[in-house]
Amino acid sequence: MNSRERVQTTLSRGIPDRVPMLDIAFWPETLKRWRQEGFPEDADPADYFGLDRIERFGFDGSLQLPVELIEETERWRVYRNANGLVVKEWKDSYAPPARLECTVQSWEEWLKVKPRLRVTPDRIAAPMVENYCFWRERGWFVVVEPVEPMWFVLDHLMGFQNALPLIAEQPDLIADILNTYTDFLLGMCQLCVERGITFDGLWFFSDLCYKNGMLFSPRAYRELLMPCHRKVKAWCEAQGIPMLLHCDGDVRQFIPLLIEAGFDAIQPLEARAGNDVRELKTLYGTQIVFFGNISADVMAYGTDEQLEEEIRSKLTVAKEGGGYMYHSDHSIPPTVSFARYARVIALVQKYGVYE
């Protein structure tokens, strides 16, 4: 099987030749450390370690407002982005940027920018189309990665501090933004398909949980966001493709809702937030594909015995009957050495084979 076949088989709840091996993000500091430890200078981690690939196709999902540089030093820059947010971005750190000023906090402000969410061909960049063709030629699994509707509200438009109270105080406003953005992203996805850019899946990246659970109540999810997710799922079903979600934090309360909404996979299942794929597999079987949960902390700090037990015990349970893909429980940090990561992959190869 190639990467595409292996991932497709797993996401369709079939049994591949082995567990797909995927790590989609390595910190720049990690690769810098690895090169000092013998990792070839120009090597790609996926190629070097024989990982499977999920490549992500994106389009411009912003309000397309003018971008403005406000302040810049050797360490950081402050600018107004295409969504109107004032952002402070660090140049020497992988840390996420800080939101200093947000675009929308009221109906009046939302109605001013709402018409800017137009489905137009200029949102599909030529370099991204070239990437798509390159990935397709190599038989890699290609997903479209639109901004998830609630993540658009929380991270791209309002900011968490403004948006989370409004979910309870002004649900009609939040619902209008969510539904407008859902229709927009589906329009853009359909435009891609009409132009011959087809996908193997749709993958949302949206951290709707934190270390203690969901950011808002299950009721709020069902009333405001689940209808949007179901609309996206209906489009995915019409295309014959799965719908995946990246969500950090403790997702244990969230998983039944995601199954109800129609998600096919959940990633990365942060171990430090209390998620344990051995427990989740017992509860949900193959109702949803589990994607991740191998602790980066154990990779970095565990003994050789602890590392092997982490991988052996989780893969043995999670791969049963299909429905599991290897991934760390986050991105790969610089605390993980080159030699230790090589050991991780060797263990996944050992315990991830289907007999």
17-47 pLDDT per residue, tens = 999 999 999 999 999 999 999 999 999 999 9
What integer pLDDT is reported at residue 269 of this predicted model?
A: 98
What is the average per-residue pLDDT within 230-238?
A: 98
> Do 315 and 336 reside in the same domain of the chain?
yes
> Do 81 and 109 reside in the same domain of the chain?
no
How far apart, in whole angstroms, are the C-alpha atoms of residue 232 and residue 184? 11
Beta bridge partners of 90: 76
Nearest to 217 by CA among 173, 164, 175: 164
> Do 164 and 98 reside in the same domain of the chain?
no
| Number of domains present in the structure of the chain | 2
What is the average per-residue pLDDT within 108-131?
A: 97
> Do 208 and 93 reside in the same domain of the chain?
no
Average pLDDT, the chain: 96
pLDDT at 94 over 80: no
Which CATH number does the domain housing residue 114 bear? 3.20.20.210
Cβ-based neighbours of 78, under 8 Å, separated by 6 or more: 69, 70, 71, 72, 86, 87, 88, 89, 100
Helix (H, G, I), strand (E, B) or coil at 86: strand
Beta bridge partners of 76: 90
pLDDT at 162 over 80: yes
> Do 76 and 165 reside in the same domain of the chain?
no
CA angle centred on 151, ends 19 and 206, rounded to 5°: 15
What integer pLDDT is reported at residue 284 of this predicted model?
A: 97
What integer pLDDT is reported at residue 75 of this predicted model?
A: 92
> Do 51 and 166 reside in the same domain of the chain?
yes
* Boundary-marking domain end, from 54, 74, 102: 102
How far apart, in whole angstroms, are the C-alpha atoms of residue 288 and residue 263? 7
What integer pLDDT is reported at residue 96 of this predicted model?
A: 81
What is the average per-residue pLDDT within 100-118?
A: 95
What integer pLDDT is reported at residue 138 of this predicted model?
A: 92
How far apart, in whole angstroms, are the C-alpha atoms of residue 168 and residue 150? 14
pLDDT at 303 over 80: yes
* Boundary-marking domain end, from 55, 82, 102: 102
Domain of residue 92, residue span: 66-102
> Do 116 and 72 reside in the same domain of the chain?
no
Whether residue 268 is preceded by a cis peptide bond, meaning omega within 30 degrees of 0, is yes
- E strand segments, the chain: 54-57, 68-72, 76-80, 86-90, 98-101, 141-144, 201-205, 209-210, 213-214, 243-246, 265-267, 289-291, 324-325
> Do 150 and 250 reside in the same domain of the chain?
yes
> Do 129 and 167 reside in the same domain of the chain?
yes
pLDDT at 199 over 80: yes
> Do 91 and 206 reside in the same domain of the chain?
no
Burial (CB count within 10 angstroms: exposed 0-12, middle 13-18, buried 19+), residue 272: middle
What integer pLDDT is reported at residue 117 of this predicted model?
A: 98
pLDDT at 93 over 80: no
| Bridging pattern class, strands 201-205 and 141-144 | parallel
> Do 171 and 308 reside in the same domain of the chain?
yes
The percent helix, strand, coil of the chain (3-state, each to 5) is: 45, 15, 35
* Boundary-marking domain end, from 102, 119, 153: 102
Q: Contact 29/336 with Cβ under 8 angstroms?
A: no
* Phi, psi dihedral angles at 282 (to 5 degrees): -65, -40
What integer pLDDT is reported at residue 146 of this predicted model?
A: 98
Q: Contact 291/280 with Cβ under 8 angstroms?
A: no
> Do 55 and 25 reside in the same domain of the chain?
yes
pLDDT at 99 over 90: no
Q: Read off the pLDDT of residues 61-92 as tens digits, 9 standing for 90 and up.
A: 999 999 999 999 999 999 999 999 999 998 87
CA angle centred on 262, ends 258 and 266, rounded to 5°: 50
- One-letter amino acid identity for 195? R
Burial (CB count within 10 angstroms: exposed 0-12, middle 13-18, buried 19+), residue 109: middle
What integer pLDDT is reported at residue 200 of this predicted model?
A: 98
What is the average per-residue pLDDT within 217-237?
A: 98
Residue recorded with tokens 């658009």:
152
Q: Contact 284/265 with Cβ under 8 angstroms?
A: no
State the virtual CA torsion across 250, 253, 254, 257 in degrees, nearest 10.
170
